Structures are given as structure tokens and as C-alpha cells.
Amino acid sequence: MCTFSKALIEKSELRGKADSVLQLVKNHIATNVEQAMDMLSVEPSSREDIMKILEKKA
């Protein structure tokens, strides 16, 4: 798989995780974004990218 394809897949996976994080917070299952990411076992290396995605949605 080429690097461009990998980047697109990683980006879409991050968007999916960001959506999941947002839903946990909106549904009051998690009290904040950090807790939601903990619940979803989001890798520490992905957290900053997910935060950036969530900031754009706000």
C-alpha cells in the first residue's frame, strides 16, 4: 500500500475515533474528552490529532 493510501486510512480512523469520543461526552457516558479517550483506549500518540479534529468540529 502506498504512503498516501496509508495516510488517508489513518486520517479516517482518527476521525472515527474522534466521533466516538464526542458521542461518549455528548451522551454523558464520559465527563470529558480525556476520560472518553481513556475509555476507548486511544493510543497516546493519537490523542493530539484527535484533539485537533475535535477543535475543528467545535
What the block records as the C-alpha cell of 11 is 486520517
CB 54 within 8 A of CB 33: yes
Site of grid cell 479516517: 12
Segments in the chain forming alpha helices (H)? 3-26, 33-39, 44-57
Domain assignment of residue 52, given as a range: 3-57
For the whole model, what pTM was predicted? 0.86
Look at residue 29 and tell me whether its pLDDT is greater than 80: yes
Look at residue 58 and tell me whether its pLDDT is greater than 80: no
Length of the chain: 58
Give the residue from 4, 27, 14 showing the smallest Cα distance to 55.
14
Q: What is the pLDDT of residue 6?
A: 87
Q: Can you tell me the mean pLDDT for 26-55?
A: 97
Average pLDDT, the chain: 93
Q: Can you tell me the mean pLDDT for 2-16?
A: 89
Q: What is the pLDDT of residue 1?
A: 63
What the block records as the C-alpha cell of 36 is 472518553
